[in-house]
Amino acid sequence: MRIEEVEKIFSNGAMPRSSILLVNFSNLVSHADLTYDKPVSRSEEGLPVGNGRMGSLVWTSPSALKFQINRVDVYANNSYTNSFNKRNSDYGYGCGFVDIDFVDFGEDVFPNERTLQHLSAYDGLVTVKGKGITARILAWHKRDVMVIDINDQREQAVTINTNLRMLRSAAVKTKNHTATSKLGIRDGRIILTQEFTEGEYYCSSAVVIGILGREVKAKLANETEVRLAAEPGKGSFTILIASAASFDRKEDVIASALDQLDAAAAKGYDGLFEENKKWWHDFWSKSFIHLHSDDGVADYIEENYTYYLYVMALSSRGKFPPNYGGMIWSTGGDYRAWGVQQWWHNVSCYYRALLPANRLELMDPMFDMYTGMYDACALAACQQWGSKGIFIPETVWFDGLAELPDDIAEEMRDLYLLNKPWEQRSIKFREYAETKHPHSSRWNWKGRGSWVEGHWNYTQGSDPYSCVVHIFSSGAKIAYQYWLRYQYTQDMDWLRNRAYPMLKGIAEFYRNYPNVKKGEDGKYHIHNVNNHEPLQGAQDTMEEVAAMRGILPTVIKASEILNVDTEMQPIWREFLDNLAPLPTNDQPNALNPKDINTPRLWSNGLKPIVHGKSVLRQETIVPCIHYDLCTLETDEKEMIKIANATFENIFPNGIGPGTSISAIDRKLIAAPMLGRADVVKIMLPNQIRCLSPEKIFENFVGTGRTGVLANRMSLSEGIQAIGVERLGRASEVLQLALCQSVPAGPGKEPITRVFPAWPRDWDAEYTLLCRGGFLVTSSMQKGQIEFVEVKSQLGGEYRLRNPWGEVEVTLYRGGKKWKNMDGSLLKFKTCKGENIVVVKRGSSPDQFKRVILGNVKWH
């Protein structure tokens, strides 16, 4: 088929495309589909359905379809809780169990040998087929309704019961916390509500179920379950499951859920499916990655990347980001390992890859959560640390940190800043701390514990240190994501109202932190802090020095762009100019001191330290991961030399097919940032595969000795902590290997590189978003880069590192030859909305035009 004929197929405009590559998104996205030819053995392997706010895995028993309805905005408690002082005891997200039971007396409908389940990622649809039963399941993108179209073709018609069950007893009291659940029936719909209260805190949810196309009878089955029975009959009918949640005691969540259900009922299944299908097709057209290698490894990476985007679209379009350990996929009620607080190290797995993927809207819940806690973080900076600006903890509740009584705050400052001996804690402070949750960054020095005579006794060290109490760099990493969003969008309102306050808040926290002091050498040093989790109570740790060196030039640049706080610019510059250098092993008191046979390497920090002697010899590659401190554009040769030596030293035994890497390990990000295609080729698929789960999973035995689940998710964080952290990390690495849009340092102008770390024997084609709002499409076939196409969405100057070295190139503008250029850096002006194609001189864009139809390319 000629290209002209194929173009007619897509001439309705439903598939936005580049001027060169015509993408059949239906075929391409279908690579991420899941197909089961028998029921899964465990609920955590169910097929995911959601609309970004509400979701469930879908699994079967021999007689029923099963769901646990979860929402991103349902929390049993908040930062002010005094009722959950035991780890993993806090909970949220869950709203209710739903079972659609097809059998009273008769044959099973979902037996092992006759059950087929299919997830269509392109349409956002799950289909389950059993003996005489077909169910099509979707979550309406616009409103919070899950839609199940049932087609019953069994010879003998029977009653089909939809059962709505509580997650726990009707009334549960945990110290000051209460959880009450109620069942109800209204106009042929069944209802389950929850209310969580503790002091002034309140959260409620409702699940409402109705049926279209069948007569129904609703009745209470028992004190924890209500049932909606559909009359026996052959043919199709539709079950609607609506939900709502609120933190407002005055809001009627039942009315809200009924309103959602009525809106869906007015459209019917066919209308909802068509509307949903359009939304999903538009979603997939925003960008793509297509990969192929003869051994199938590149294809495997592609399908997992596409699936990651699918899962994020299902779970990240609400008021809050889903908790990393379980997301909205819990199937076992309230319990999930690690509770419901957010660890940025884990959350970052999900969100750092979304900007280049051109899925900016999926980042809104994360940004909204951290912006929403700004005032609480500003108060925490003052109360907890005696500083200014904002303190965003590594581990935090969805609403930030609670306000402390003045006397507790004063003693906390003295203790945490080491101005008061830990053993001199007052009785009042000890008693106040006793009721606080130990996962919180503020109280994380409270170790694991046990019940002794009805009292929960926790272990504790002889000091205030722990994994996360003295981590400040998480706030810097979060603030830098705000800056990156500005760079990708050039949105001045975003920079002014959202990004700049975060950048300034973090910069001012560091500048005023009491344990940042100018030493005898005239440099500002930071004392008694962590280097993320393993190393505690050290000096000039890499994480914290790198954070300051990343945030300060960025806040200065943002201040200049906005022309605000001009009086602060020289103050910030003085701080930056006199800041301690990144720690290296040749500095006095380095944690991993250099010997005669060791090259100069980055160090985790300087001595003395309190905890973490076991990691003294471990090197750190942080500058290649965060803040654009060390990129392929960096012109400091010594920094690049140290970076490569440090990276090599991290893998002293080399890298081979069996080299494992944990689900959330970030060091692989450094590989494409250093141009290491050899490492990407081996370690990228290894991270997706979860080699050696018995070594790298949090609770391998407790989760049933599982690795990657059938639905591509994993339980790497523990029981019911269902998620795709590793796919998010791998997606970031993949995009950086294909296309980088990075500056020579923080606050500097970005330059695009195509295929900077891509294996030459793997074919690849993609459209990805670059900083400046440029959509870049490129292709590598048989080791050769064919072209670079730039769609300028905003206008402005585009900077491209010449993909062919110093070779002369030809630029085509609007489909016509424009000019020739040469040199290693190509810079040219663009107008908003135009396409510019760059090819090696002597080539033409026309010779590369083709259709991408899955693994089949028509020329």
Q: What local confidence, expressed as pLDDT, does residue 800 receive?
A: 98
pLDDT digits (tens, 9 = 90+) for 233-243: 999 999 999 99
Helix, strand, or coil (residue 263) = helix
Query: Which CA distances in Å does 201 have to 81, 178, 197, 376?
Result: 8, 10, 5, 16
**Own/partner long-range contacts of 423-427 (Cβ < 8 Å, ≥24 apart):** 423/462
Strand-pair partners of 799: 827
pLDDT digits (tens, 9 = 90+) for 812-842: 999 999 999 999 999 999 999 999 999 999 9
Is the pLDDT assigned to residue 662 strictly greater than 70? yes
Average pLDDT over residues 50-72: 98
Domain 3-12+763-858 listed as CATH 3.30.70? no
Q: In what order do the strands lie in the sheet with 133-139?
A: 34-36, 116-120, 125-129, 133-139, 145-152, 235-246, 201-212, 189-198, 177-186, 171-174
How far apart are the C-alpha atoms of 697 and 685, rounded to whole Å? 17
Three-state secondary structure readout of 557-613: HHHHHHCCCHHHHHHHHHHHHCECCCCECCCCCECCCCCCCCCCCECCCECCCCECH
Q: What local confidence, expressed as pLDDT, does residue 14 receive?
A: 40
Contacts for 255 with CB less than 8 Å, ≥ 6 apart: none
Q: What local confidence, expressed as pLDDT, does residue 857 receive?
A: 38
Strands 116-120 and 125-129, by their bridges, are antiparallel
CA angle, 420 as apex, 418 and 424 as ends, to 5°?
A: 130
Tell me the pLDDT band of 619, cut-offs 50, 70 and 90: confident
Average pLDDT over residues 63-74: 98
Residue pair 825/785 in contact by the 8 Å Cβ criterion: no
Q: What local confidence, expressed as pLDDT, does residue 324 receive?
A: 87
pLDDT digits (tens, 9 = 90+) for 327-352: 999 999 999 999 999 999 999 999 99
pLDDT digits (tens, 9 = 90+) for 421-431: 999 999 999 99
Residue indicated by tokens 């549960």:
172
* CA nearest neighbour of 165 among 43, 54, 42, 69: 69
* CA nearest neighbour of 798 among 757, 770, 758: 770
Q: What local confidence, expressed as pLDDT, does residue 855 receive?
A: 56
Is the pLDDT assigned to residue 618 strictly greater than 70? no
* CA nearest neighbour of 708 among 12, 7, 44: 44
Tokens of 821: 């250029």
Strands 850-853 and 21-23, by their bridges, are parallel
Looking at residue 241, the DSSP 8-state letter turns out to be: E
Q: What local confidence, expressed as pLDDT, does residue 459 receive?
A: 76
Strands 189-198 and 201-212, by their bridges, are antiparallel
Tell me the pLDDT band of 289, cut-offs 50, 70 and 90: very high
Q: What local confidence, expressed as pLDDT, does residue 17 receive?
A: 60
Strand-pair partners of 388: none
How far apart are the C-alpha atoms of 750 and 356, rounded to whole Å? 13
Q: What local confidence, expressed as pLDDT, does residue 325 receive?
A: 86
Average pLDDT over residues 73-101: 96
How far apart are the C-alpha atoms of 623 and 630, rounded to whole Å? 5
Helix, strand, or coil (residue 101) = strand
Residue pair 130/194 in contact by the 8 Å Cβ criterion: no
Q: How far is CA 492 from the centre of its chain?
A: 25
Give the rounded percent of residues in the chain with a pLDDT score beyond 90: 88
Instruction: Look up residue 285 and give its amino acid.
Output: S
> Higher confidence at residue 448 or residue 388?
388
Tokens of 823: 């040199």
Residue indicated by tokens 């004929």:
5
Residue pair 845/797 in contact by the 8 Å Cβ criterion: no
Query: Which CA distances in Å does 551 have to 211, 508, 668?
Result: 54, 10, 23
* Count of CB atoms situated within 10 Å of the CB of 691: 18
Residue pair 827/801 in contact by the 8 Å Cβ criterion: no
Q: What local confidence, expressed as pLDDT, does residue 177 receive?
A: 97
How far apart are the C-alpha atoms of 45 and 708, rounded to whole Å? 10
Tell me the pLDDT band of 13, cut-offs 50, 70 and 90: very low
Q: What local confidence, expressed as pLDDT, does residue 682 receive?
A: 97
Domain boundary assignment for the chain? 3-12+763-858, 36-284, 291-351+621-740
How far apart are the C-alpha atoms of 72 and 327, rounded to whole Å? 8
How far apart are the C-alpha atoms of 393 and 548, rounded to whole Å? 16
Q: How far is CA 700 from the centre of its chain?
A: 22
Tell me the pLDDT band of 9, cut-offs 50, 70 and 90: very low
What is the fold, at CATH topology level, of the domain defined by 36-284? Beta-galactosidase; Chain A, domain 5 (2.70.98)
Phi, psi of 756 (to 5 degrees): -70, -20
Indicate the pTM of the whole model: 0.96
Tokens of 610: 């309190």
How far apart are the C-alpha atoms of 461 and 672, rounded to whole Å? 40
pLDDT digits (tens, 9 = 90+) for 381-422: 999 999 999 999 999 999 999 999 999 999 999 999 999 999
Tell me the pLDDT band of 12, cut-offs 50, 70 and 90: very low
Q: How many CA atoms lie within 13 A of 196 on its CB side?
A: 25
Contacts for 312 with CB less than 8 Å, ≥ 6 apart: 350, 354, 359, 362, 728
Contacts for 548 with CB less than 8 Å, ≥ 6 apart: 476, 510, 526, 575, 576, 579
Of all helices (H) and strands (E), which one includes residue 273?
helix 253-284
Tokens of 157: 């018609």
Residue pair 555/504 in contact by the 8 Å Cβ criterion: yes
DSSP string, 654-699: ---TT----TT--GGGHHHHTT-HHHHHHHHHHHHHTS-HHHHSTT
Instruction: Look up residue 556 and give its amino acid.
Output: I
Q: How far is CA 240 from the centre of its chain?
A: 29
User: Residue 712 class from Cβ within 10 Å (0-12 exposed, 13-18 middle, 19+ buried)?
Assistant: buried
Tell me the pLDDT band of 154, cut-offs 50, 70 and 90: very high
Q: What local confidence, expressed as pLDDT, does residue 847 receive?
A: 94
How far apart are the C-alpha atoms of 187 and 377, rounded to whole Å? 46
Q: What local confidence, expressed as pLDDT, does residue 856 receive?
A: 39
Check residue 503 and give left, alpha or beta (phi > 0: left; psi -120 to 50: alpha). Answer: alpha
Instruction: Look up residue 82 and give its amino acid.
Output: N
Tokens of 337: 């390992």
How far apart are the C-alpha atoms of 176 and 435, rounded to whole Å? 11
Using only C-alpha atoms, what is the Rg of the chain? Answer: 28
pLDDT digits (tens, 9 = 90+) for 563-601: 999 999 999 999 999 999 999 999 999 998 998 989 999
Tokens of 162: 């939809």
Looking at residue 540, the DSSP 8-state letter turns out to be: S
How far apart are the C-alpha atoms of 607 and 419, rounded to whole Å? 19
Tokens of 750: 């970005």
* Count of CB atoms situated within 10 Å of the CB of 385: 22
Longest dimension (CA), the chain: 89
* CA nearest neighbour of 396 among 387, 384, 408, 410: 384
Tell me the pLDDT band of 859, cut-offs 50, 70 and 90: very low
Average pLDDT over residues 353-359: 98
Q: What local confidence, expressed as pLDDT, does residue 458 receive?
A: 76
Quick check: do 3-12+763-858 and 36-284 share a fold? Answer: no
